[in-house]
Amino acid sequence: MSDSPGRVLVVDDDEVIRQLIAVNLTLEGFEVETACDGQDCLDRVLEVRPDVITLDVMMPRLDGWVTATRLRDDERTRHIKVILLTARAQEADKQRGLSLGVDAYMTKPFDPEELIQLVRELAQQARAPQHG
């Protein structure tokens, strides 16, 4: 096992945001891969094997809702921690995200420090030995 705090797949159709998140996490020592939309995420997730996925909601081809649902429906990806990142701050959207089984919900604009802390906590949970 490497000294990395974890592997993260950053999924966002906005390249600026994708790079911002990737750079911040890389500086914190995470191994980071990126995907440009939900379909790209699903195409690569088994190869990347991330501990955590940061997932934008509003994306072309396959949005974050559908992507999160597919990740949860597949036993090979069900265990991956998912953070939904979205400009949609309505309570109904948060409830929808939580009902899909995502691990956290963060609204844009977000504080990179907060995101890093959240990713770190979820990555630690993901890498902890599973009991029971």
Q: Compute the distance between CA of residue 95 and CA of residue 89 in angstroms, rounded to an integer.
A: 10
Hey, what CATH topology would domain 7-123 get?
A: Rossmann fold (3.40.50)
Is the pTM here over 0.85, yes or no? yes
70-88 burial code (b ≥16 CB/10 A, e <16): bbbeeeebeebbbbbbbeb
pLDDT tens by residue, the chain, 132 residues? 457 899 999 999 999 999 999 999 999 999 999 999 999 999 999 999 999 999 999 999 999 999 999 999 999 999 999 999 988 778 898 889 889 999 999 998 889 999 999 999 999 999 887 655
DSSP state of 129: P
